Amino acid sequence: MSTTPSTTHLHSLRYKAGAVIRFANTTKCWQDGTLALDSVNLELASGECCIVIGPSGAGKTTLLRSINGLVTLTSGSVLFNGERVTRRSLRRIRSRIGMVHQQFNLVGRLPVMDNVMTGMLSKTGTLRSLLKLFPRADVQRACRLLAQVGLEESQLYRRAMYLSGGQQQRVAIARAFISRPDLVLADEPVASLDPTTSEDILHLVRSVSRQTGATVLCSLHQVELARQFADRIIGMRAGRLVFDGPPESLTDPVMREIYGTTAKNVAAAREHGRDNRTARVDEASVRPSHVAELT
């Protein structure tokens, strides 16, 4: 029942399982000449929780979005389960990837239930989905997932726009995981949430992905949270990977390399982490029980 994942163990498993995602010399150069990805080579093993950190503009979002075709590459390629991501394979590949967005991106006027079911659209026939006639098994799965992320039956038919940010992100997690994805992408999933909720949300992503065996690729600005939840941390700077390793090897010199040479930045990042830690101590007792249940 420990709340911190045992990271070293999973990290050592990394190269035993097959690669879910493989970046091969992936390069993205925007029209204005910004090199957002500079021949990135990276492999993610199945079941791994990998967190990308790096200063603003480092290319974290671009890295994540290049996987499901939201960014067209300048050169190089991205392989998903050994298959190259192309225009033709895109829809099939997308149906195997769940995504948690920073701004949740729920459909505000739809009830919670329907929002979760939209994660299953790629696996439901067009006519069935137009009439919202989802298979019973899927609906029950949605309910289980919602309970798992800590929503109650009374919220099932509330419109998503009336939920709090944290609740919306929980619904978004249920939506991302309902299709049993091989990979879950999360681009700053907790950027607009308070420290306690952030931690809860990351806990959820972590525990649900463990249960379903999904690989997680997540970008974060909170280094301390990254240390806490990642099996593997990737440091990016100006489109290049400058660090790749387990949380323990994320030392101060490495931090300086990722975030810049000014000591101020590192201090600020540390400060940020300390804030989170104190918040955790303060609010450990009030954390909802479901989080403990899951881990």
79 binds another protein (CB under 8 A): no
Out of 11, 14, 22, 60, the only residue in the binding site for ligand ATP (CB under 6 A) is 60
Cβ-based nearer residue to ligand ATP, 159 or 221: 221
Residue 188 C-beta: closest distance to Mg ion, Å: 6
Cα–Cα distance between 245 and 227 in angstroms, integer? Answer: 11
Residue 194 C-beta: closest distance to Mg ion, Å: 20
Ramachandran angles phi, psi of 294, nearest 5°: -75, -30
Please say whether the beta carbons of 223 and 247 come within 8 A. Answer: no
Encoded one letter per residue, x for contact with ligand ATP by CB under 6 A and - for no contact, window 151-190 reads ----------------------------------------
Residue 260 C-beta: closest distance to ligand ATP, Å: 14
61 binds Mg ion (CB under 5 A): yes
Please say whether the beta carbons of 106 and 171 come within 8 A. Answer: yes
**C-alpha separations of 41 from 22, 44, 75, 241 in Å:** 7, 10, 12, 8
Sign of torsion over alpha carbons 42, 81, 35, 100: negative
Cβ-based nearer residue to another protein, 264 or 274: 264
Number of residues that bind ligand ATP (CB under 6 A): 12
170 binds another protein (CB under 8 A): no
Residue 42 C-beta: closest distance to ligand ATP, Å: 15
Please say whether the beta carbons of 68 and 94 come within 8 A. Answer: yes
Residue 279 C-beta: closest distance to ligand ATP, Å: 22
Ramachandran angles phi, psi of 192, nearest 5°: -105, 25
Helix (H) or strand (E) segment spanning residue 36: strand 35-45
| Residue in 172, 184, 195 with CA at minimum distance from that of residue 219 | 184
Cβ-based nearer residue to Mg ion, 61 or 179: 61
61 binds ligand ATP (CB under 6 A): yes
Encoded one letter per residue, x for contact with ligand ATP by CB under 6 A and - for no contact, window 2-41 reads ----------------------------x-x-x-x-----
| Residue in 248, 188, 155 with CA at minimum distance from that of residue 56 | 188
Q: Locate 154 and state its tokens.
A: 């009374």
Please say whether the beta carbons of 98 and 187 come within 8 A. Answer: no
Number of residues that bind Mg ion (CB under 5 A): 1
Q: Decide which of Mg ion, ligand ATP, another protein, none touches 24; Cβ closer than 5 to 8 Å per partner kind.
A: none
In b/e form, how buried is each residue of 162-173, taking b as 16+ CB within 10 angstroms? Answer: ebeebbbbbbbb
Helix (H) or strand (E) segment spanning residue 236: strand 232-237
Out of 81, 122, 212, 295, the only residue in the binding site for another protein (CB under 8 A) is 122
| Residue in 245, 184, 212, 187 with CA at minimum distance from that of residue 14 | 245
Residue 59 C-beta: closest distance to Mg ion, Å: 8
Residues that bind ligand ATP (CB under 6 A): 30, 32, 34, 36, 54, 56-62
Residues that bind another protein (CB under 8 A): 68, 70, 91-99, 101, 103, 105-110, 114, 118-119, 121-122, 126, 129-130, 172, 175-176, 179
Residues that bind Mg ion (CB under 5 A): 61
